[in-house]
Structure 1
Amino acid sequence: MAQSASPLPNNSEDQQKIRLLIVDDIPETRENLRKLLFFEPDIDVVGAATSGEEGIQMAIELQPDIVLMDINMPGIDGITASERITQEVPMCQIIMMSVQGEADYLRRSMLAGAREFLIKPFSSDELVRSIRRVYQLGLQRRQAMPVAVPGAAGAVKAEELETAGKIVAVFSPKGGVGCSVLAVNLAIALQQNAAIKVAVVDTSLQFGDVGVLLNLYASRTIADLASLADELDNELISDIFLPHSSGVKALLAPPRPEVADTVSPPLVAEVLNRVRKMYDIVVVDTGSVLDDVVLNVLDLSDKIIVVTTPEIPAIKNVKLFFEVTEQLEYDRSRIMFVLNKTDRRINIRAEDIEANLKYRIEAQLPYDERTVTMSVNQGIPYVLSSKNSVLAQATVALGKQLLKSFEESEE
């Protein structure tokens, strides 16, 4: 039954139903969608438009919560209609439907303001789940809209500036050295050992792993903010974060690689600037390519944890990266050089790496394949599942060293 697609909201006598408008040029599709939604007690189909033009007009007149929009229609197509509806009815959320699943369709839909993209044919469960999810996002957005009070905005900004936290980027120019695992475990170590508010943000937009490592379902991601770039506020951003049982909050990367294009470098920068005012420490996992997103993250970071392993390709890439940091005039005090997966059986010593790169290694994390593999496969960070392991203790020590460096810089 479609009712089992997702939990129903706690309906009360005065709670409004989800008001939904269908826009599709095929009569059979409109009728099938009505039938799929007929038995959903919290969804009310308030209208059905036969074209993009009619959809725009009905959206303005009916002010629905959600528009279920077909992408391929004669005349004004779904993407153009979505852009118009987003402008005319900004509180309306759009779910795009298409038989085409290509990345370009998805990217254009998200940029036009769509919050969800359904590929036909879809099940009633998928449809109802998407409607309820998108409605909740829209509801949170409406609740987060500030009430205009003269002089209030300036006061809030001043207060936020006084409580700005620190951004810590975890980066390596070589993939596979353990940045994501370290970022997640470092964030939890900081949260649990230092009575501070900690967030972890995944800016590896195409293939981010933070959600998997924390065993979090990507019901909300940074891509949800793409269509709201012009009206971001702290409460809206906060609603996109997912809570983890450790107390850490996570902002996940998009669920699919093709959605990454909807998240622009300026959006990432603005989100981080706002998030740092909401948390004491923001740990940012990055990709290994120096693109505009990563460079924005590094520019904003108070500390850059540069990770390498005792392997020639990783060391070579780090050396090249350090040359880039010199050209960018990054202060050396902002960089914390970490050697991961240290192993006495490997004949490349930390001292040799320091001598070659002219950078002091400030922390070493031991190679512990069994602990890390179990942690990754179970979705339980090793600082929680294997607290007494040498690796977990070394990660906690790294967190303490990081906090100490911030304290010293403020003295």
Structure 2
Amino acid sequence: MMPYTGPPLRILLISSHEECRDTLQQALAEAMTGQFQLFWVSLPEVAEKRARELLPRIIFIDDALIGYSASRIVRRLRQQVPKAAYIIVVNPSNTREAQRAILEGARAFLLKPVDSQELVETLEQILASADVDEEPGTERTPHKRKGKAIVFAAPKGGTGHTTLAINTAICMYRQTKEPVALVDADFFSPAVDLALNLHAQYTIQDVLPRVSHLDHDIVSTILASHTSGIHALLAPPPRLSHYSIPVPQIQEIVAGLKEFFAWEFIDLQSFLDETAIAFLDSADSIILTVLPELTNLRNVRLMLDVFAQRGYSKGKIRLVLNRWDMRGAIPAKEIEKYLHMEIAFRIPDDQPLATYSNNRGIPLVVSHPKSALGKAFRDFVLYLKEQCARIQENPDETMAQKPSFLTFWRE
């Protein structure tokens, strides 16, 4: 028997014949010592939808499908679930169809009736090669990882919080080599896909049906891989009607990703509806981006009022002053006095470079690492790591007395 110690192995069988399912079920039970889940689809026309929902690790395809060839099914499914391993189950007289399926991307074929020993050898080869091809940044099992979820927020667009979130994520991965996830939680005007030049097939919508049973395969399939090494969970395309996610599912997404990623950075929309509040409630820290402009400061102050009403501790919030040295900027000391909070970090002004970087879809820490902005982002990551390490050593620090924003503002 083949020892298997990973999470339950999701297996999908596409066959028009119930006896094929029973035979494979018995062979798998004889071949494996670990857990597996066998799902069966008898109608080839619904196979694509089912495979997309399940994201199985292994897909068995019977060659005796009614109205469909196995090679055609492989070709179509690989467009939907490219990371699955496809195995064709064929009659000894139909090896030609197996060869055609292999040309379409199948990994192996088994002759009917399926022999448990042959099944063991095939699965061992496939699972071993999957380990070799593992994507960087995610792990096969959670291993009880407890990452940190950090929300980047701002009271309106144009404050630079998306640019800060993206470049922070990349710098964090480069400095720590720990897995980093970037979540686009701006459902009004998503921008992470454009800023990273990503054209992913999946979005956060695809996580929702699977959020209660996230595992490595689901995470590595749905989150888009960026060349910098980070992984991105993208927002749905912008639409006229607002898209929202139930609060419990947001909590599950944030908590679930923390099991796979050491750092989870969330780029939040500016409108604080129930969805946005759920992300903020679930976060370990909030990075609030401030511009040295009077209108922006008033909006930041109102946002801090909301945070106070939610009961967020003072240690949970960090003010980052963006473009602090721009012409005509309100001095930092005046900003701190107005907001009744210290500024945690300052980002210099280089709006042309930031705009150029976003328009190209190449983060500036990649394209211009030696620029003043690039250095500031790297220094911000050092600051962030120091703060998180200090809080980890003294966990009561973030649960200190609640900020007296309301008291100050009512004066």
Q: Give the structure-2-normalised TM-score.
A: 0.63
Equivalent of 2:217, from 223, 235, 243?
Answer: 235
Counterpart in the other structure of 1:330: 312
Give the match's secondary structure for 1:336. Answer: strand
Paired with 2:328 and 2:246, the residues of 1 have a C-alpha distance of 41
Amino acid at match of 2:284: D
Q: Deviations over 1:178-211 (max 9, x none)?
A: 1111110110111112232211111112321111
Pair 1:133-2:79 in alignment? yes
Is this contact kept in 2: 1:166–1:282, CA < 8 A? yes
Distance 1:232 1:359, change over 3 A: same
SS at match of 2:370: coil
User: Deviation string for 1:273-326 (max 9, x for gaps)?
Assistant: 110111111110000011122111111111100011011121101111112222
Q: CA shift at 1:397, angstroms?
A: 0.8
Contact 2:167 2:365 in 1 (8 A): yes
CA–CA distance in 2 between the matches of 1:61 and 1:160?
29
Deviation at 1:264, TM superposition (A): 3.3
Where 2:151 maps in the other structure, the secondary structure is strand
**Deviation at 1:138?**
8.2
Residue 336 of structure 2 aligns to a residue whose secondary structure is helix
- The reply on whether 1:190 has 2:210 as its aligned counterpart is no
The answer for unaligned runs of 5 or more in structure 1 is 1-15, 21-59, 69-85, 95-127, 144-158
8 A Cα contact 2:212 2:252, kept in partner: no
**1:177–1:340 contact (8 Å) kept in structure 2:** yes
1:338 deviation in Å? 0.4
- 1:137–1:162 Cα change, 3 Å: closer
Could you say what secondary structure the match of 1:66 adopts? Answer: helix
SS at match of 1:398: helix
What's the counterpart of residue 340 of structure 2?
358
Counterpart CA distance in 2 for 1:231 and 1:258 is 31
Residue pair 1:179, 1:285 contacting (<8 A) in 2 also: yes
**Structure 2 residue 263 is matched with structure 1 residue 281:** yes
Distance 1:92 1:211, change over 3 A: closer
SS in 1 for 2:327: coil
Query: How many angstroms apart in 1 are the aligned matches of 2:275 and 2:83?
Result: 25
Instruction: Give the CA deviation at 1:257.
Output: 2.4
Q: Is contact 1:65-1:92 (8 Å) kept?
A: no
- State the 1:245 CA deviation: 1.0
Q: Where does the alignment leave 5 or more consecutive residues of structure 2 unmatched? A: 1-11, 17-39, 54-73, 87-122, 124-140, 394-411
Alignment pair present for 1:166 and 2:144 = no
- Separation in structure 2 between the aligned mates of residue 306 and residue 230 of structure 1, nearest angstrom: 30
Letter of the 1:383 counterpart: V
Question: What are the superposed Cα offsets for residues 330-376 of structure 1, whole Å, 9 maximum, x if unpaired?
Answer: 11111110011223521411111001111000111111022111111
Aligned ranges 1:78-93 → 2 under 5 Å: 91=50
Cα contact 2:322–2:349 (8 A) shared by 1:
yes
Give the conservation status (yes or no) of the 8 Å contact 1:202–1:284: yes
**Residues 136/391 of structure 1: CA separation in 2 closer, same or farther (3 Å cut):** same
> Number of matched residues?
286
For the 8 Å contact 2:155–2:296, the answer to whether it is kept is yes
Q: What residue in structure 1 maps to residue 159 of structure 2?
A: 177
2:43 alignment partner in structure 1: 63
In 2 relative to 1, CA 399–357 (structure 1 residues): closer, same or farther, beyond 3 Å? Answer: same
Residue by residue, what CA displacement relative to the aligned partner does 1:164-190 show, whole Å, maximum 9, x if unpaired? 000010001122111111110110111
Aligned residue number for residue 290 of structure 1: 272
Instruction: Give 1:263 shift.
Output: 3.9
CA displacement at 1:239 relative to structure 2: 1.7
Q: How far off its partner does 1:223 sit?
A: 1.5
Equivalent residue of 1:167, what SS? strand
One-letter amino acid of the structure 1 residue matched with residue 335 of structure 2: I
For 2:249 and 2:84, locate their aligned partners in 1 and report how far apart those are by CA, in whole Å: 19
**Max Rg structure:** 2
- Give the TM-score of the pair, scaled to structure 1: 0.63
In structure 1, give the amino acid aligned to 2:206.
D
